[in-house]
Structure 1
């Protein structure tokens, strides 16, 4: 990826300048905010997929009959004002970068709703919504440019592990199929105006490698590239990803992509993520990011960690020089992001190792 020019060199220059100056703030949870709207089936369908009066679907070509409630990414098309509102709430709270509502916008993940054919459109529209929100806020504060992160989620399949405990050799997805999915989704994000692409919540490094391969190929085809962020997920307190890697092994598996940043998100709260972020900060020649959950889920699957507590823990990360980019994942809200932004405001960003700066 290193030899191609940037697709948006001016935006990359602004991003690099901001990263050199301070710790940048990512947004918080999208799903958390959407749950607050308590949308029912009709709310998810919107006008485009509404049921006809006779119980039939008004638009057969768009959607075969199955429930769409819970398909948060579909709201990009059916409730764009809600998604725009979430982006703007996080920008208002101090986010420098907002993530597109495209976590499940791959064919593989949309297959659960029989909406595979919408994959490109979901990414295109998702990036456009985030772009418009960022441009609006950048115009208000030109000295604080805002950036769109085009999100590529992990999909609902895993290339390294068998879904069948009785057949360990079985796989329900191939590297090639994942790469095709990621190519289609990333094309939509690029066309919609993303500044950065983030392969995130990686529980299987082989899936991530398929995504990085797809991006590399796509950039070559287009003759230009975007910065790439990579964020894994340590799935439990064993300190490993689902496919069995420690933080250090994960980093060495993906550093060939020369990412803008490597980090961890989701699964754990900030307290439990701390040792893994410390490992990355010690070894990474890229920048380090984290967007933890608001603690671990309680018995009701909800997240209880207050903005004050979370910001206090993250302030410790920042004071110790571990961070370049920080935000929130599940359970976090604009209040969490505002508290985090205030907590790290006076802390210097983690310095890249000298060797990395020379290589860049």
Structure 2
């Protein structure tokens, strides 16, 4: 069945938001969950009371066992000024849930996650008539990589195959789309081949359902080298996923905002779509925590907006509703980055980019 060639109501509304102003994404889920001091029993609930493995730390599972907390966190982000919240599904694939022997619960987790976010969105819209709140289905990078061997003595070895990754992502996408997300966010990408498997899964499901959703893509730069973990520069990465015609492309996670700026500037000069940025609340401290205050984070992201670099801002690891409130205030009156027309130049990439004009 061919994909629809017209926008749904939610897609049209999302496009209108991005055309009108800088959109605001939510912040971290995991660090906020930690503040609730949940026990093993909270993660197990009644359904998994007799599960043979420990489940504490499997935050995605809370969509089934403590949906009240997940919904509350989404509601706190909407109250802080977020336009879009991500579903609590960062690890909700069969590959991710294999660590907990919960592969069979993947579809239920994704379905419940969308329901949690949608309830919070509906409540936020009801509290402010005329407001539109969106739910993006979050797809994380997996804990296995297609591009690199986990064994230094066997460089040819891979812990997972392309077909396995595609199958895992396809199950997740089917559940997210069926449950009614407004967009899909493929995020925290450290291996472009994993991301390509996710994009392949998306196209498969879009063709199956006859409906196309906006696809948002966000990569992570692992250190000051300006490259992904699998070795690509930001330009090479963009060339690698440009064929998917993403709704947006951006950078999130690993670096704090200050360290992220040069790579964001490069991407903003390349991307023929919206550009997104949701950094960590600074670099991790010696205890693995994040020390960047809401004011400092808002200052840095406000600077990105002033420079015309972004169409959406938000927060990643360590960020909280307070961070998002400060960020939303900082960009409220600033214009969004102008999106250039699509170029017909041939763009190729390996670890480095190549443009044939």
Does residue 341 in structure 1 map to residue 336 in structure 2?
A: no
Q: Map 1:15-94 to 2 at 5 A.
A: 15-50=14-49, 57=50, 63=51, 65-94=52-81
Give the whole-Å Cα distance in 2 for the aligned partners of 1:335 and 1:47: 33
1:6/1:226 contact within 8 Å kept:
no
Q: Secondary structure of 1:354's partner? A: coil
SS in 2 for 1:37: coil
Map of 1:54 onto structure 2: none
Task: Tell me the secondary structure at the aligned position of residue 158 of structure 1.
Answer: coil
Q: Deviations over 1:105-164 (max 9, x none)?
A: 000010000001111111111111111111221233243211000001111100000000
Whole-Å separation in 1 of the counterparts to 2:224 and 2:46? 44
For residue 8 of structure 1, report the CA deviation from its aligned partner.
6.2
Mark the CA change 1:318 to 1:270 in structure 2 (over 3 Å): closer, same or farther.
Answer: same
- SS at 2:116's partner residue? helix
1:93, CA displacement in angstroms?
0.1
Matched with 2:347 is none
Structure 1: any 5+ residue segments left out of the alignment? Answer: 51-56, 58-62
Q: Residue 195 of structure 1 is aligned with which of 158, 176, 182?
A: 182
Aligned-residue Cα RMSD (Å) equals: 1.4
Contact 1:6 1:12 in 2 (8 A): no
Deviation, 1:44, is 1.2
Task: Give the whole-Å Cα distance in 2 for the aligned partners of 1:343 and 1:72.
Answer: 30
The answer to whether the Cα contact below 8 Å between 1:7 and 1:226 also exists between their aligned partners in 2 is: no
TM-score between the two structures when normalised by the length of structure 1: 0.93
1:190-244 CA-partner distances (Å, limit 9, x unpaired):
1111000011000000000000011011111111111100001001111110000
SS of match in other structure, 1:262: strand
Note the alpha carbon deviations across 1:38-65, whole angstroms, 9 max, x for none: 1121121122222xxxxxx2xxxxx3x1
Q: What does residue 221 of structure 1 align with? A: 208
Cα distance in structure 2, aligned partners of 1:49 and 1:121: 13
CA distance in 2, matches of 1:207, 1:224: 23
Aligned to 1:11: 10
1:281/1:322 contact within 8 Å kept? yes
Q: Shift of residue 175 of structure 1?
A: 1.1
Aligned residue number for residue 282 of structure 1 = 269
Q: Which residue of 1 aligns with 2:231?
A: 244
Provide the C-alpha distance between the structure 2 equivalents of 1:349 and 1:248, rounded to a whole number of angstroms. Answer: 21
Question: Is the 1:231–1:262 contact (alpha carbons within 8 Å) kept by the matching residues of 2?
Answer: yes
130-139 or 200-209, which deviates more:
130-139
Paired residue for 1:101?
A: 88
| 3-state SS in 1 of match to 2:231 | coil
**Deviation >3 Å, runs of 4+:** none
Aligned residues: 343
TM-score, with normalisation over the residues of structure 2?
A: 0.94
The 1:7–1:136 alpha-carbon spacing in structure 2 relative to 1, beyond 3 Å, is farther
Which of 160, 163, 167 is residue 150 of structure 2 equivalent to? 163
